[in-house]
Amino acid sequence: MIAVLRNVEVEGLGLWEEVLREEGYPYRYFDAFKEDFPEGTDGYSHLVILGGPQSVNDVEKYGYITKEMKLIEDFMHQNKPVLGVCLGAQMIAKVLGARVYKGPVEIGWFEIELTRPALVDYLFAFFPKSVKVFQWHEETFDLPHNAIRLASSELVANQAFKYGKCTYAVQFHLEVTPTMVARWREYYRDYLAKMDRLGLPSFVPNGSYFPVSWEFFKRFIQLSQKEA
């Protein structure tokens, strides 16, 4: 069973739900913003922490973020696979002692470039050297000590990293579908107007996007404690 932490209702697994259904792998959503959490790691093989508009630094306003980071630590200590997306990635960085801070704003479709270590990493080895992915963030993070950088973009150096054998953090949203992006565009309409981004396109990836997203998450769920 995969535990999936949502930080806002509209940001779910997207395409990755289809991967889980096809692979026959059970999963359960927990809404962290409603103080809904699994009771420890028992019964769960993997942890996925999704994105949201919150800041990992604003724990006084969003107290449940502290609980999420504790759960991340617990899964990491149990050597169980962990994947953080956007805000989830920033939480992993924070747990590992890295600084999370305001950075260049990326909203829309941007190219990321893989690093040399990514070419031999199980989750990234099949990626093209560069791929267009969906971004939506105002904050970034330093690379945690002993972490391996796996991807960068022109504006943000740390787009993805790996820590240990089975903890992955990705700043970008590899899970999105056209319907999902359109839904975000409507849900965050006031924010986009303020940022002058109302013309945000729902989908303009290159042809490798869907197979890359599918294979990436399929490989993540194939990670096990034994492999780790």
Catalytic residue numbers, as ranges: 86, 173, 175
Would you give the distance in Å from CA 129 to the centre of its chain?
A: 20
> b/e string for 130-151 if b means 16 or more Cβ within 10 A?
ebbbbbbbebbbebbeebebbb
Look up tokens 């997306």; give the residue.
85
Helix (H), strand (E) counts: the chain? 6, 9
CA dihedral sign, ordered 157, 159, 160, 161: positive
Q: In what order do the strands lie in the sheet with 130-141?
A: 27-31, 2-6, 46-49, 82-85, 167-170, 160-163, 148-153, 100-114, 130-141
Q: What's the one-letter identity of residue 52?
A: G
d(CA 187, CA 158): 27
Q: What's the one-letter identity of residue 200?
A: L
